[in-house]
Structure formats: C-alpha cells, structure tokens
Chains A and B, each alone.
Chain A
C-alpha cells in the first residue's frame, strides 16, 4: 500500500514543484529523493509497517513476493534515474512532468504486484500504459517518436480492449472479479467454456503488453522510435512488472485450464525465442537489436509462467533484476553514443575504456555467461522447467537460442574491442557517470557470484 499511495502523492507534489523549482537539473535529484523515500517505505512495509490502513476489500493483497518485487523495481528505477537522469533533461521542455510520469508508472507497478481482483489488474495495466504512451511521444519534434507513440497508443488501447472483453467474459462465467475461485454449495465452481475464452483473451492482451510472440510486432518500432532513455525504462522495469502481474494472474487461473495451457505457453515461448533471437541477428542498429533482444528475453521470462513453482518464483525475481540492471546499463551507454549502429561502437575500448568494459559486463550478463547475474537468472528459469520433468525439449530449445543470442551480443563487444574506429560520444561523460557504471557492473558480478545474497531477502 505504501508504494501505491506515496508514489501517487509524490507524483502530484512533484508535478507542482515545477512551478517553484525552475532549475531543470534539480528535478532528477527530487525524483531520486522520491524514489529513496519510496524504497524505504516499501521495505518498511515488507517488515510490517504501514503508513495507511486502507480497507481494500481484498482487491489488493500484499505478500512478500510482491513487496520484494516492488523493492527491486524501485531500486532499479533509482539506478536508472541516477544514470540517465541527465538524458531525460535533453528530451523535451517538460522535464519535470516526464519524471512525474515515471512516478505514476511506479504506482501502477505497485498495483501490478499486489492485485487480487481483475479490476485492479486492469487499473494497474492502464496506470502503467498511459504514462508510457506519453513518454514514448515525449520527443515532440521527432517524427519517429510521434509515430511510435501513435502506434503504441492505438495497439495498446486495442489490446486493453481485448483484455476488458476477457474480463467481462470471466465475470459472466464466475460471477466475480476475484482471482480466487468462487465456491458454490456443491464445491468449487466448474470451469466452463466462457471462462476459458475469457482467459484466452486476457492471455492475448498480457502477451501483447510483455511483447511475446505472436503479439510482438509493435515492440521494435516503439522501442526504436521512443527516446532512448524511455526505451530503457519501458523495456526493463515496466516489462518485468507486467510479467509479475502476468504470473500472478495465471498462477491463480492456470490450474483450471488443464494441459492445453502448457502447450499454448510452450508454443508462445518457442515462437518468442525464435523471432526475438533470429531477427536480432539481422539488425544494423544496436538500439533496434536491443528491442529484439528484449523480445527474446521475454521468451525466457515466460518460463516462469510455464513452470510456476518455487524455483520459477525465485527465477523471475532474479531475472527481473539481472535483465533490468544490464539493459539499463547498456542503454545508459547507448544514449551517450553519437552513432547507435554497430559501427558506431568501433574502437570504443580505446577512446572510453571504462564505458567499453562495463558495457561488456552488461552484455555478458544478457547472454548469461557465468559469474554474471544473467547466468543465474537463466539458470533458475531453466531449472524450474527441468524440475517439472515433462518438458525437457523446451529447455533444449531455450539453450540453443541462448547460444544464438551470443552472436548479436558479442558483435557489440567485438566492435568495441577488436575493430578499428573512432567511436564518438554525443555528449561529454562525467566521472560520476563512469563511477555509476562501475558500481552497476560490480553489482551484476556480485549477484552473479552470490545470487543468494538477493534471494534470501525473499524469505527473511
């Protein structure tokens, strides 16, 4: 509850701070302060301290898993603001409002990690999506940004419509919005066709929001067109939050769906991995490659949806963090580059050794090389499926595609270290930024060596 309320109130307060605070460079510190406050309050709530006692009538249910995810999302956003806050200032005139929108997204994330009613799921998705439409189009003078925003808005609202239809069908079938199965006098309500169709609709809409194939078509255009700072935010923290909601929803509903559910999800995973990885190979722009890589990573995150056991729960937490941190780092470097094609990275190791070295760590983490956080993230995901003992073929497919992904991630490393060229930066890099990158890379390696350092927080 703390996260939802404080992020909303702080968002409104910050909105008004733009009236009195005129110095543009001050906003990112205000935002960072707000996020630290949010983080402290969320951790306090994890250990039983609530600022407000609101009767949510069981529409929201706060559990350890959701609150811990909130902490991770807030911490990742804080890192994101500290690393890329200066680049938000470069986007448009209304800098303060852009930060405010990020706070409103945090409010939506708080709902996504705690909803217990389909209505709240819908609200959470919308509170996340609407600020994102605006952030995508925030570079008003840029035609590509406008195109991306319009595309995202039209397709996003369409998918929301499909989701609402699904929720309506579910309501018709079960007579309520609650996630728990309603009981009748004669035991639990039997599953009927309408409910399955409704769930299929919601599955389509959620798959759209996390950009899983075959609903991924918007992703490359939107991620490519949006200002890079916001692509970084959309592709990482927001996507992980929607995955948490996705998993929460189908953890409650999947037992009703029987065996067919696993086949559908397995097909979606294979399609997502295939399209994401194979298309990423052919990209010339690193930004667009990262958009496809985010589709491919979504395929891995869907393993948590497939297996739904304890390992997968730990896995999705690890995956959210590992993937978010690495991608935020790569984007933070990408924004500074003058040329975002692979050639633009040629010879970066000579001109900017720190940037190149940290970028290499982030890329290795995305590939899933041991000693980086990404390795354990992928390990837990695959282990959760291995534990099911029924879908080993899926694990083999995933490993093959993980090997394919090495090609396009290593292309960047190859460009940075082994190609001749003068990689030019668009903006001057400050020592603080380098220091932040080093800390981030260190964090990724620390989690890569000792993942339990993170996972223990889930239980203690």
Chain B
C-alpha cells in the first residue's frame, strides 16, 4: 500500500520521533494553507477603493451610531453557559474513542457525568438564567 508506509506503522511502533511526523505534516499544511491564501489574495486581488466600499456594510442601510453600547448582561450569561456546556461535551470524545474497552464501568461513569450535567442544566433553567425577557 505504499506511498507513506510510515503512516501505517505509526500505531504499532513505540514512541519515536517518527510518530510525530504525520502531526508535523498536518501542522505544515494547516499553516501553509493560511499563509498561501492570505499572500495570494493580497497579491492577485485588485484594489480599487471608493468611499462607498470603505463604509461599514449594514445590509444597504446607512450605518449610524456607535457600536460600543452597553449590552445586556444576559448575553454574557448565556454565552458563559454556552461555553460551559460546550466544553463539557468535549469529555465525550475520549469516551467515544475508548467506548468498547471501557465497557459497562465506563458507561456507568459517563452516565453519572451526564446525570450531574443534567442537574446543572435543570438548575439553570429553573433559576431562569435562560429567560431572555424579565
């Protein structure tokens, strides 16, 4: 199968620096694509500036006022809760990867985790943290 045989060996080999080669390649491509796209668009794209084009685009309506206005704290509350629950979902990934090996013990542990998770969710709903209007 062979153009990159080391990619297949990686799982069985012991910890050697060659194991990190695929990660290195991915990192290289990830950075290279960003750099190439940014450089190429700057380089190829025509630059014709007019007053209309430089104005802030607000769906065709002339923009007015300052964007820096006091914002409802509720927004931050929802944002923080989103981050909280979003981050907790990440804990499912390691479980999903090791799903079979962990067996029923792992399932019960995750069930407990989800249970606590749910408690928190019910709590914030009951506290009215997600109520937008008060």
Contact = CB atoms under 8 A, between A and B. Distances in A.
Interface of A: 12, 15-16, 19
Given A16-B123, A19-B126, 7 more contacts: A12-B116, A12-B119, A15-B119, A15-B123, A16-B119, A16-B122, A16-B126
A121 to B, nearest CB: 22
Contacts of B122: 16
A99 to B, nearest CB: 15
Contacts of A16: 119, 122-123, 126
B98 to A, nearest CB: 17
B103 to A, nearest CB: 15
Nearest to B119: A12
Contacts of A19: 126
A15 B123 CA distance: 8
B1 to A, nearest CB: 38
A398 B122 CA distance: 53
Nearest to B115: A12
A12 B115 CA distance: 11
A19 B122 CA distance: 11
Shortest 6 CB-CB contacts between residues of A and residues of B? A19-B126, A12-B119, A15-B123, A16-B123, A12-B116, A16-B119
Nearest to B123: A15
9 contacts: A12-B116, A12-B119, A15-B119, A15-B123, A16-B119, A16-B122, A16-B123, A16-B126, A19-B126
Nearest to A55: B105
A220 to B, nearest CB: 30
A19 B116 CA distance: 17
Contacts of A12: 116, 119
B84 to A, nearest CB: 13
A16 B124 CA distance: 10
A15 B122 CA distance: 11
A19 B127 CA distance: 8
A157 B126 CA distance: 30
Contacts of B116: 12
Contacts of B123: 15-16
Nearest to A94: B127
A16 B118 CA distance: 12
Interface in B99-130: 116, 119, 122-123, 126
Contacts of A15: 119, 123
A96 to B, nearest CB: 10
A12 B116 CA distance: 9
A19 B123 CA distance: 9
